Chain A
Amino acid sequence: MTFNKVLIANRGEIAVRIIRACRELGLKTVAVYSDADRRALHVRYASEAYHIGPPPSSESYLRMEKLIDVARKSGAEAIHPGYGFLAERAEFAQLCADEGITFIGPPPSAITRMGDKGMARKIMMDAGVPVVPGTPGDKKLGNDELIRAAEKIGFPLLVKASAGGGGKGMRTVRSSEELPAAIESARREAKSAFGDDNVYLERLVEGARHIEIQILADAEGNVIHLGERECSIQRRHQKLLEESPSPFVDDDEEFRQKMGAVGVLAARAVDYVNAGTIECLVDKDKNFYFLEMNTRLQVEHPVTELVTGIDIVTEQLRIARGRALGYTQNDVKLRGWAIECRVNAEDPYNNFMPSTGYLNKHAVPTGPGVRVDTGIDTGATISPYYDPMISKVIVWGETRAQAILRMRRALDEYKILGVLTNIPFHQNLLSQHRFMAGNFDTKFVEERFSMEEAEESRDTFPEIAAILATLAAHRQTERAAHIIQRGKRDTSNWKWVGRYERMHR
């Protein structure tokens, strides 16, 4: 199981993150890249790099046989899938195993059992892990059976696709009249998105928070949790800001350990190995329910790293090499507070419309307590082919208040030119009273937040902006006039070119 060279089957910030951990352990690294990523940092930081195809991920990062080929050619004995792409495809983990390559992640069986949400729900119920009340999920119930079951569950409820993810094949139903149509449309969407139209019902937990538990498990059967992450700040099921600990759990150590123990139980139920995350819904009375397990490294893993001091990617590599965990549950203590903001190339003033273009400046914030994970450098192009994340800004503070102030400071320093970003969204969010008070649920951004209202409560400098805009416009007019005058050189342009070429010979 030991290996000295790791292929990273991913791109962007997470590929860089994994390469960093490998290099710190003295492991050789192999990057792969599409035509769109030749200039990316992961290519430059790896010890080897191989081109795997055109920009669309279906022709590059998702091509299992190409990745296996590169592993063979380069002699990589292990593959880290990162997140997204092939990270949760049991088929890929199995293919690696068949080829004698170590897959840095859970065994294929654990991916399969947690990958089907309906099946996972059944396994969790049997293991004594609390799930949201509803139908079991492993049985293929017909419409009539679902409608009968709905009366017992009560409204409002959710229709969810067994094979689902990312909000696809999901419907909120407020009354029994809406149910038949909702089941039908959820089935249609699930069929087209996942090729499987099985759905189950779940009571809608109102005012719920999304809190998740980080798990580490080794091949010897040791399973520990690294506390929780608060991920309720999201929009269209995309997380935007995460923190650890959760302000809702805060210093309730008993509640933390209770959730953590259930997370460990859930991981054991599928014989989990490596790093994984148990996502939970938590209601206002601190009832919590298993939602799903992400059988991979998460985007937001750094907030846990900053408060526990544990390098999760290093632990993943250790576990994959067959070593025992470097920590016991008693070693895990949360210290201080960490917040992560996902910086995306999207326009928060225009319905978060994606923004693409050439980055002529990418100056990341630094200074005490600030970490920036990115795969993009000045001179890169944000293309429409991949997700819009430019970077993650992660800060640590003694207290939540200090972390918030530090994040505001860091975002003020951050300069990205060439594309529009959601940094103003984060800055507005971080100065909202409800956010500062930790008083929010998963609907907060969509239902109770607007850029306009958030800006009203902040200092404003319209005169300064007027001066700046006017001077910028004035200078541009002057430059334009200057360029027109260039034709008035005292010598011919041919002579000019000759002189220029002699000078640069």
Chain B
Amino acid sequence: MNQRYVTTIGEHQYAVELLKDNKVRVDGQVYSVDYEAMTGQQLVSLVVDGHSFDCHVYQDEDNWHVLMRGRLYTAEVVDEREMRLRAAAGEGHDDSGLFILKAPMPGLVVNVPVKPGDQVKKGDVLVILESMKMQNELKAPRDGLVTAVDVNAGDSVEQKQVMLSLE
């Protein structure tokens, strides 16, 4: 049975089909692909129809990232079954709902210029986090209402620790 995936990079959705004998079909065109994982699955030597690509591939919560020839590609990979389920559920991208600000790295909270109940605009600074001697401003991704602030100036936070919620 062939595995079918829909892989989205930027605006483009690629129909990717894994065939027998290391063949892969992308949008109708068949490639011969030799995939060799080198270190901890993250470093991959990929040879596609004789073209060699030395790549770094890694994953975060939602996406796969491919660093290749000095360029980063961010891909969402969904298998065909999941794609159908999504279509059925009519999932759309919605700007309402809860946004939770998590610490992108461990550090020290320098300042929290907002408090619960504040109305903020996209781009407003929510938390200033110091890490590696640099102060980093973490900004609101959209307009919203601050519903909870879970950290105070002076707190040390771990990576991914919840710091603030926006509704």
**Residues of A in contact with B (beta carbons under 8 Å apart):** 345, 349-351, 353-356, 360-361, 384-388, 408, 411-412, 415, 417, 423-424, 427-428, 455, 458-477
Contact = CB atoms under 8 A, between A and B. Distances in A.
Interface string B141-165: 0000000000000000001000000
Contacts of A423: 70
A461 B72 CA distance: 10
Contacts of A349: 72
Contacts of B7: 466, 469-470
Contact of A468 (B66, B106, B134): B66
A412 B75 contact: no
Instruction: Name the prevailing secondary structure of the B interface residues.
Output: strand
Given A354-B105, A472-B57, A473-B77, A467 B64 contact: no
B18 interface: yes
Interface of B: 3, 5, 7, 9-10, 12, 14, 16, 18, 24, 26-27, 29, 31, 33, 35, 37, 39-44, 46, 48, 51, 53-59, 64, 66-73, 75, 77, 79, 104-107, 131-134, 136, 159
- Count chain A CB atoms within 10 A of each CB in B44, B106, B134 and give the residue with the most: B134
Nearest to B12: A462
B42 A360 contact: yes
Nearest to A344: B132
Nearest to B156: A384
8 nearest A-B pairs in the assembled complex, by CB-CB distance: A427-B70, A465-B73, A469-B75, A473-B77, A469-B64, A466-B14, A354-B132, A465-B66
B43 to A, nearest CB: 6
Contacts of B33: 467, 471
Given A412-B54, A472-B57, 20 more contacts: A351-B136, A354-B105, A354-B132, A355-B105, A387-B133, A412-B70, A428-B70, A460-B71, A462-B10, A464-B46, A464-B53, A465-B9, A465-B68, A466-B16, A467-B48, A468-B46, A469-B77, A471-B33, A474-B3, A475-B41
Nearest to B73: A465
Given A354-B105, A472-B64, A466 B9 contact: yes
A356 B104 CA distance: 10
B35 A361 contact: no
A408 B71 CA distance: 13
22 contacts: A351-B136, A353-B136, A356-B106, A360-B40, A360-B42, A385-B132, A387-B133, A415-B54, A427-B70, A461-B69, A464-B53, A465-B75, A466-B7, A466-B73, A468-B44, A468-B46, A468-B55, A469-B9, A471-B35, A472-B44, A473-B77, A476-B59
